[in-house]
Chain A
Amino acid sequence: MTAAIHETRRGIAGTISDVFFTRPQLLTVLLLTPPLLWIGIVYVGSLFALLMQSFYSLDDFSGVVVHEFTLSTYAQLFEGSNVQIILRTVTMAALVTVASAIIAFPIAYYAARYARGWTKALFYLAVMMPLWSSYLVKVYAWKLILAKEGVLTWFANFLHLGWLLDGILALPVVGGPSLSFSYVGTFLVFVYIWLPYMILPTQAALERVPANFIEASADLGAEPGQTFRTVIFPLALPGIVAGSIFTFSLTLGDYIIPQIVGNSRLMIGQAVYTLQGTAGNIPLAAAFTVVPMVIMAAYLWMAKRMGAFDVL
């Protein structure tokens, strides 16, 4: 008696499995088609439509969009108040990014190198939990914390540091009547809201630095500070850059935080919101939207040139 080398096929599901197993490309094509259609048409397509708008212009007299190619809308970006908006937003985004990176690094380092078991679980919980609650609620909560009668003022007075708070508020430009009506307040809330997006990629990058690199560096004579500068930081840099992409671009585009906490001077997001709404100036709103994209592209190009992605 000769035994068959294979079992007999069972039903249609078995046949389909066999077809996919022997032709893996077919499966890949079938799996990728729907998401590619989505990203191609709905995602990139609408973005492209938006970009098209930025090359039209608004007729000042009639308030009607002129559907003719022009760069005049972009020229408007360089006019006084618009330049101010862009500079203000970019400065804020840069400061928020730097502060996030400085605060995130020790947390990420601890989590990657020392946290094990339940401390690691606690770390993830602590970092992610703020992301579970409503963004709007958190921002309003911060408005209350930062308000003149808020808990922060009370706490500063309790510690006899009221003079410090008053000193900060008295500073030109960044100060204001209270923290919730100042750039300092906007900055604090931005850092709070985006911090998890900096911690997680930094932690992931540090997680991939083997402990014996640190031992090897010490073995070759490097003190802990030198090891940090020459081994740990360069290897964590791709993670920090990834995190900074989040904090930087999210700050560039946000319009709710500066609306609720801050003074009346606009950020890019608010400018877009106003222009496309009440002002009906879709072309200029679109041109403003392009600004963060250009800045991010330039930023990534620079990061790449500085070798931030060499270890990836």
Chain B
Amino acid sequence: MSPAVRFQNVSRRFGSVRAVDGVSLDIEPGEFFALLGPSGSGKTTCLRLIAGFEQPDEGHIEIFGETAEGLPPYRRNVNTVFQDYALFPHMTVGENVAYGLMIKGVAKSEREAKAKDALAMVKLGGYETRRTAQLSGGQRQRVALARALVNGPKVLLLDEPLGALDLKLREQMQEELRSLQTSLGITFVFVTHDQSEALSMANRVAIFNDGKIVQIGTPSDVYERPKSRFVADFVGSSNVLPPEFAASHGGMAAWTSLRPERIRIVPETAIVPSDYGHAKGVVTAVSYQGAATRITVATDKLPVVATIPAGTSLNKDDRVVLMWPKSAMVAMGDGA
């Protein structure tokens, strides 16, 4: 079976800027796929290339085996949930949701029934006659979702879908999107700059930097086995240890990622087991973060961050030993 979306060496330039630079990518049918990266890394342009708002300068794009380049958005069986929702202000909620069906020429009674079902699916049953201006941010998000899904797209694209929502609502929508995707079985591709959102929602994540994909993998792949300093730092802000430090502290002579939550802080007098690496240092900062506390320790070479469960008695200037299982040290590639 052909992949839902296939990029083969795709590039898109804006003037002299290569927004997307030689990207190759296969997204399998039914995947919940995240395009993750800092702003300006090319992830949104990739989404727009799938939607058809942009055309590639080089390379080849397929959607379910069909060539996509050259096709305008209205000839693609792909729908988008826009970052600011782009709901039409001159139509009611129901008319917004039924818009795609109206364009296809579906009879009024049928499209109204389908719009009603779609709204019920996103828990907005009974909102058909409301004006979009009367809705809250979370409700607009749901209408945008219903408006896209009612067309039965083969791929649903979501551009920073939860960016404008507050934390509580965002967590709730993450779960709902997840269960919606599972029950519908549609391929979801979503763009985000929020690594925790990508890790919690996606089956697989592509991490973008400077228009290129720097790593593709499952959330645990990219989190636990980052291939580069960029990924280690961008996904979950890891401690990136230079080769000489890693080699002298229980690892290999390579750039190494060490997750803060894998580090334990023990008194200077503690005995370190042989399968642990360790370093002595002085606490320079203690930052309370609710469930966890983030401790920065200056070792003789570099500062190392550890997160430990809340309720520590550590203070600034305490002399401590950091220790971590050697297996937590992940050697990375060239360090780019």
Within 8 Å CB of B63, what residues of A?
Answer: none
Are B103 and A215 neighbours in the complex by a CB distance under 8 Å?
A: no
In the complex, the answer to whether A220 meets B100 with C-beta atoms within 8 Å is yes
Given the interface pairs A212-B82, A226-B103, the reply to whether A219 lies near B51 with Cβ below 8 Å is: yes
Cβ of A210 < 8 Å from any Cβ of B? Answer: yes
Contact assessment for A219 and B88 in the assembled complex, using a CB-CB cutoff below 8 Å: no
CB–CB B86/A215 < 8 A:
yes
Minimal beta-carbon separation of A197 from chain B (angstroms): 24
Whether B73 and A219, one on each chain, are in contact in the complex, defined by CB atoms closer than 8 angstroms, is: yes
- B192 interfacial by beta-carbon distance below 8 Å: no
Which residues of B are found within 8 Å of A213, using beta-carbon distances?
86, 88
In the bound complex, do residue A212 and residue B84 qualify as a contact, i.e. CB atoms below 8 Å apart? yes
Complex contact A219–B104 (CB within 8 A): no
> What mask results when residues 217 to 245 of chain A are scored 1 for a CB within 8 Å of chain B, else 0?
11111110010001100110000000000
Is the CB–CB distance between A220 and B90 below 8 Å?
no
Q: List 12 A-B contacts (CB under 8 A).
A: A212-B84, A215-B80, A216-B82, A217-B99, A219-B51, A219-B74, A220-B100, A220-B147, A221-B103, A235-B89, A235-B90, A311-B89
Chain A to chain B: the 5 pairs with minimum beta-carbon distance, closest first = A220-B100, A216-B86, A218-B73, A212-B86, A221-B103
Task: Check B72 for interface membership: any CB of A closer than 8 A.
Answer: yes
How many A-B pairs with Cβ below 8 Å? 62
Set A210, A220, A235, A310: member contacting B79, Cβ < 8 A: A220
Q: How large is the interface on B (under 10, 10 to 19, 20 to 34, 35 or more residues)?
A: 20 to 34
| Chain A residues within an 8 Å CB radius of B99 | 217, 220, 222, 230
- Kindly state the separation between the CA atoms of A310 and B90 in the bound complex, as whole angstroms: 7
What are the residues of chain B within 8 A of A212 when measuring CB–CB?
82, 84, 86
Q: Which residues of A contact B288 (CB under 8 A)?
A: none
User: DSSP majority for the B interface?
Assistant: mixed
Contact among B53, B84, B103 with A220 in the assembled complex (CB-CB below 8 Å) = B103
Let me know if A220 and B151 touch, CB within 8 A. Answer: yes
Contact between A234 and B90, CB atoms less than 8 A apart: yes
Q: Which of B74, B88, B90, B151 is A218 in contact with, Cβ under 8 Å?
A: B74
The distance from the CB of B245 to the nearest CB of chain A, in whole angstroms, is: 48
Q: How far is the CA of A219 from the CA of B51 in the complex (A)?
A: 7
Query: Chain A 29-56 against B: per-residue CB contact (8 Å), 1 yes, 0 no?
Result: 0000000000000000000000000000
> Is there contact, CB below 8 Å, between A222 and B74?
yes
Bound-state CA distance A212–B78 (Å) is: 16
- The residue of chain B having its C-beta at the shortest distance from the C-beta of A222 within the complex is B103
| Complex contact A219–B80 (CB within 8 A) | yes
Closest Cβ of chain B to A293, distance in Å, is 29
CB pair B86–A210 under 8 Å, yes or no, is yes
A40, B84: Cα distance in complex, Å: 44
| Distance between A186 CB and nearest chain B CB, rounded to angstroms | 36
Given contacts A215-B53, A226-B103, contact A221 B151 (CB under 8 A): yes
Q: CA A216 – CA B82 in complex, angstroms?
A: 8
B79 and A219 within 8 A (CB): yes
> How far, in angstroms, from A217 to B104 measured CA to CA in the complex?
12
Alpha-carbon gap, A231 to B103, bound state (A) = 12
> In the bound complex, how far is the Cα of B89 from the Cα of A311, in angstroms?
6
Q: Which residue in chain A gives the minimum CB-CB distance to B77?
A: A221
Task: State whether A221 and B104 are in contact (beta carbons under 8 Å apart), knowing that A212-B82, A216-B80 are contacts in the complex.
Answer: yes
CB distance from A312 to the nearest CB of B (A): 10
CB distance from B327 to the nearest CB of A (A): 47
- Give chain B nearest CB distance to A234 CB in angstroms: 5
- Are A215 and B90 in contact, CB atoms less than 8 angstroms apart? no
What 16 additional pairs, Cβ within 8 angstroms, besides A215-B53, A219-B80, A222-B103?
A213-B86, A215-B51, A215-B73, A215-B80, A215-B82, A216-B88, A218-B52, A218-B74, A219-B79, A219-B148, A220-B79, A220-B103, A221-B104, A230-B102, A235-B89, A311-B90
Task: Give, as a whole number of angstroms, the nearest-CB distance from A265 to chain B.
Answer: 42
Inter-chain contacts of B84 with A (CB < 8 A): 210, 212
Most buried by A among B51, B72, B88, B104: B88
Residue numbers in B under 8 Å from A216 (CB-CB): 80, 82, 86, 88
Residue of chain A at shortest CB distance from B100: A220
Residue from A210, A219, A226, A307 whose CB has the most chain B CB atoms within 10 Å? A219
Nearest to B51 among chain A residues (CB) is: A219
| A235-B89 Cα distance, complex, nearest whole Å | 8
Determine the chain A residues whose CB is within 8 A of the CB of B148 once the complex forms: 219-220
A213: nearest chain-B partner, CB-CB? B86
Contacts of A311 on B, CB cut-off 8 Å? 89-90
Max chain B Cβ within 10 angstroms of own Cβ: one of A216, A220, A223, A226: A220
Q: Which of B79, B86, B100, B102 has the most CB of A within 10 A?
A: B86
Which A184-221 residues sit within 8 Å CB-CB of chain B? Answer: 210, 212-213, 215-221
Residues of B within 8 Å of A217, CB to CB, are 88, 99
Bound-state CA distance A213–B147 (Å) is 13
User: Which A residues touch B78, using CB under 8 A?
Assistant: 219
A221–B99 Cα gap in the complex (Å)? 9
The complex places the Cα of A235 from the Cα of B88 at a distance, in Å, of: 9
Smallest distance from the beta carbon of A38 to chain B beta carbons, Å?
36
* Assembly CA distance A275 to B121 (angstroms): 69
Return chain A residues, CB-CB under 8 Å to B100. 220-221
